[in-house]
Structure 1
């Protein structure tokens, strides 16, 4: 049962990320296109920095930066958040747990960011 719950939650997060990307960039599909923020070198650099933090197990630190940026209500930052949460979601459960984070926190995070932009996820 736990296996089904974790994979169900992973699919739920994937769905929330797809909705966020559709809202922010108009792309809606199983695999979204490269986010527009990648075209902006400053945003791309921040994306790389945040994904490196995730790779180092610093999920919470990366999330705090995403939440700070979301306060500005820039749709590029919503795309950035969706891409980073998607990246987090693809990590193995054991790695997420060893990093003192959880898949539930990933789901909560993407939903909170979307709520900050005025969208109910």
Structure 2
């Protein structure tokens, strides 16, 4: 069972790296926050998503992400992928305790790609 979960963890990380390379032309995805006094709406959303998920409100954070995402801004795509990488860094016990799974992380990534009309481009990665 541990081997299956490790495989899914690596698969999610590799998936996001592949998306970063194909869609954003980057080798890695890492949404970088500016100095706090320079935050914009997207930065505040990202911080809120991280805080919510860190406090175990993962489903609520994901719902907020899908409610607030602006699909005309690729910076928000990178922010969303960073959010899912953040979730993927949680241990299995934390995810399970908070009613979330690695499979749901993969589904969320697919959902964001669909929102940005990128699902056909990255479909082969799944």
CA-atom RMSD in angstroms? 2.1
**What is the 5 A alignment of 1:4-83?**
4-23=3-22, 25-28=24-27, 32=28, 34-35=30-31, 38-39=33-34, 41-42=39-40, 43-70=42-69, 72-83=71-82
The structure-2 alpha-carbon separation of the partners of 1:41 and 1:24, relative to structure 1 and needing over 3 Å to count, comes to farther
| Greater relative CO, 1 or 2 (CA 8 Å, sep 6+) | 1
Relative to 1, partners in 2 of residues 1:57 and 1:114: Cα closer, same or farther, differing over 3 Å?
same
Deviations 1:8-63 (A, max 9, x none): 111111122223333554211xxx26436x34612222211111111111111111
Runs of 4+ in 1 over 4 A off after TM superposition: none
Aligned length: 116
Q: Could you say which structure has the larger radius of gyration?
A: 2
TM-score w.r.t. the length of structure 2 is: 0.79
